[in-house]
């Protein structure tokens, strides 16, 4: 597999709405997933969305250390429920090297997604995992963490 280049803001792919995945038996999809995992780890990330490697595809990966129930790949994700309680933490992004700012996000999130084989699953995240779910899902809608800064 390969470590890919992470594109930086203001690259136009970061502002596109990602295309849903329809073909789960595509070798290109599985290669992309493996490349993204390697790229995320090589760059000390907790999560990485496909648009960040210039692929407008609705998928993101999460670091094994924070992944829920062994799920590290989230394809066609949908946020189902968020808590009313919010936490404000410094947030960064691999597409904004070295930049961090406080972002308020719900402290608990329920997400529905598909795995690499197309099986649907649900997962719940709290704290850093909830933040990762929201941050990476935002990427798939062309939303960047800096877009949340006006909330302060």
Domain ranges of the chain: 12-151
Distance CA 9, CA 2 (A): 22
Residue 9: band (very low, low, confident or very high) from pLDDT cuts 50, 70, 90 = very high
* Whether the model pTM is above 0.85: yes
Handedness of CA 91, 95, 98, 101 (dihedral sign): negative
Q: What is the pLDDT of residues 70-94, one digit of tens each?
A: 899 999 999 999 999 999 999 999 9
User: What is the mean pLDDT of the segment spanning 8-33?
Assistant: 97
pLDDT of residue 152: 40
61 close to 40: Cβ distance less than 8 angstroms: yes
| The 3-state secondary structure of 41-108, one letter per residue | HHCCCCEEEHHHHCCCECEEEECHHHCCCCCCEEEEEEEEEECCCEEEEEEECCCCCCCEEEEEEECE
Provide the 8-state DSSP code for 116. T
- CATH number for 12-151: choose from 3.90.45.10, 3.40.50.720, 3.30.460.80, 3.40.50.1000: 3.90.45.10
Q: Examine the residue annotation and report whether 136 is marked as an active-site residue of this protein.
A: yes
Considering the candidates 89, 112, 136, 151, report the single residue annotated as catalytic.
Answer: 136
């Amino acid at each position: 597999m390969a470590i890919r280049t992470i594109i930086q803001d203001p690259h136009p792919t970061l502002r596109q709405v990602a295309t849903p995945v329809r073909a789960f038996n595509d070798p290109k999809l599985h290669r992309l997933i493996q490349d993204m995992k390697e790229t995320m780890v090589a760059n000390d990330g907790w999560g990485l969305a496909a648009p960040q490697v210039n692929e407008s595809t609705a998928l993101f990966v999460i670091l094994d250390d924070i992944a829920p129930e062994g799920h590290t790949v989230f394809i066609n994700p949908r946020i189902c429920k968020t808590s009313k309680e919010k936490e404000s933490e410094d947030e960064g992004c691999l597409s904004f090297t070295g930049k961090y700012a406080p972002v308020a996000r719900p402290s608990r999130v329920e997400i529905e997604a598909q795995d690499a084989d197309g099986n649907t699953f649900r997962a719940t995240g709290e704290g850093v995992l909830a933040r990762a779910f929201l941050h990476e899902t935002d990427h798939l809608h062309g939303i960047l963490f800096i877009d949340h800064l006006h909330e302060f």
